[in-house]
Amino acid sequence: MEIGIDSFAAMMSGNSSRAINDADAIGQLVDRIAYADHAGHDVFGIGEHHRKGFLDSAPHMILAAAASRTKNIRLTSAVAVLSAADPVRVFQNFATLDLVSGGRAEMVAGRGSFIEAFPLFGYRLEDYDELFAEKLDLLLKINENEFVTWSGKFRPAIDNLPVYPRPMQAKLPIWLGVGGTPESFARAGMLGMPLMVAIIGGETHHFRPLVDLYREAGKRAGYTPEQLKVGVHSLGYVANTTEEAINDFYPGYAEAMTKVGKERGWPPMTKSRLEAQMGPRGALVVGSAEEVAEKIVRHSEALGGITRFTFQMDTAEVPHEKLMQAIELIGMKVKGLVNKG
């Protein structure tokens, strides 16, 4: 199983006692990506948001900065908000990243969990699904063909025009990032795309029927099980002990989840809810290296096997030094325990 990290480039300014400026926050993030490469991580992803609190509105720029300081780690979006973007520019950005990184770029395409990008770029939220389906179709055509002929509803047509640059890889690996709608899982299967499932709450096994739907749709479309890869993105954190992990992670996690909860109608986050989510079947992957490795294996078993797992840690605004420690523990201990034998 590939193990890595996803970051939303948190501003690290929510707690005044450890606030830093945005330039330093970006610098520390690039340092963490470089250290993840050193520690043996397989992949590092940068999300995309267009709201206060996050510095990832241009993820390919952060990844390009990291490319110059890394050698082996795969560099990906997590996710690229395709509904509100031009697929030509998205492809060009990540094809350029692929050249800069020597063939290590990937992309997770999705619709995002926030809606700010729609009014910001002049799109209607009512067109949420139709926009994504159309733009994904164009992105995949560009990835397959140097010269593209295409027409749609929301973007001007392309009549046998080339799209450059082309990536160093024969094709960019493009995953489909999904939340919890059956239509998204089935779409990924019908297209034969690798699936990246965001599981940030509840119990992981509840996603098994959706993953099965993905695999069945892919099988009917003629794709092999090897082509139908499943990855999981989950909130998580690793420390030397479970007590240390909770003490480090809970304050910022509770603040962030309570803030989002006010927008979405969730109850305030409490330590008892955190500990419940840390239980054997809960989605949170927080604890010592041994506990976290065991839980990742249980996640994989619950979903019928996964090929990639990525931690989302920095939303909790854990200090940089603690995140570096977690990166080392994940790369040097967790990865080996998950893949032992």
Backbone region of residue 268 per phi and psi (left: phi > 0; alpha: psi in -120 to 50; beta: other values): beta
DSSP assignment of 34-67: HHHHHTT-SEEEE----STTB--SSHHHHHHHHH
pLDDT value at position 30? 98
340 residue type, one letter: K
Other CB atoms within 10 Å distance of the CB of residue 261: 14
Alpha-carbon distances, residue 41 vs 22, 36, 336 (angstroms):
25, 5, 11
pLDDT tens digits for the chain (341 residues)? 999 999 999 876 545 556 788 999 999 999 999 999 999 999 999 999 998 889 999 999 999 999 999 999 999 999 999 999 999 999 999 999 999 999 999 999 998 778 899 999 999 989 989 999 999 999 999 999 999 999 999 999 999 999 999 999 999 999 999 988 999 999 999 999 999 999 988 899 999 999 999 999 999 999 999 999 999 999 999 999 999 999 999 998 888 888 877 877 878 888 888 888 888 889 999 999 999 999 999 999 999 999 999 999 988 889 999 999 999 999 999 999 999 95
Other CB atoms within 10 Å distance of the CB of residue 121: 13
pLDDT value at position 280? 87
The number of residues making up the chain comes to 341
Six-digit token string for 115: 């809606």
326 residue type, one letter: A
| Residues 56/154, Cβ–Cβ less than 8 Å | no
The residues, any chain, with a CB within 8 Å of residue 39's CB and separated by 6 or more, are: 327, 328, 330, 331, 332
φ and ψ of 98, to 5 deg: -65, -40
| Residues 177/126, Cβ–Cβ less than 8 Å | no
| Residues 102/119, Cβ–Cβ less than 8 Å | no
Beta strand spans in 246-328 (E): 285-288, 308-312
DSSP assignment of 278-300: TSTTBS-EEEEHHHHHHHHHHHH
- β-pair type (230-239, 80-81): unpaired
Please report, in angstroms and rounded to a whole number, the separation of the first and last CA atoms in the chain: 12
Other CB atoms within 10 Å distance of the CB of residue 294: 16
φ and ψ of 308, to 5 deg: -150, 140
Six-digit token string for 191: 């297209």
- Fold classified for 2-338: TIM Barrel (3.20.20)
Domains of the chain, by residue range, sit at 2-338
Report pTM: 0.94
Inter-helix orientation angle 128-144/87-101, to 10°? 50
Judged on CB neighbours under 10 Å (0-12, 13-18, 19+), 23 is exposed
Q: Rounded to whole angstroms, how far apart are CA atoms 114 and 112?
A: 6
Six-digit token string for 229: 């890869």
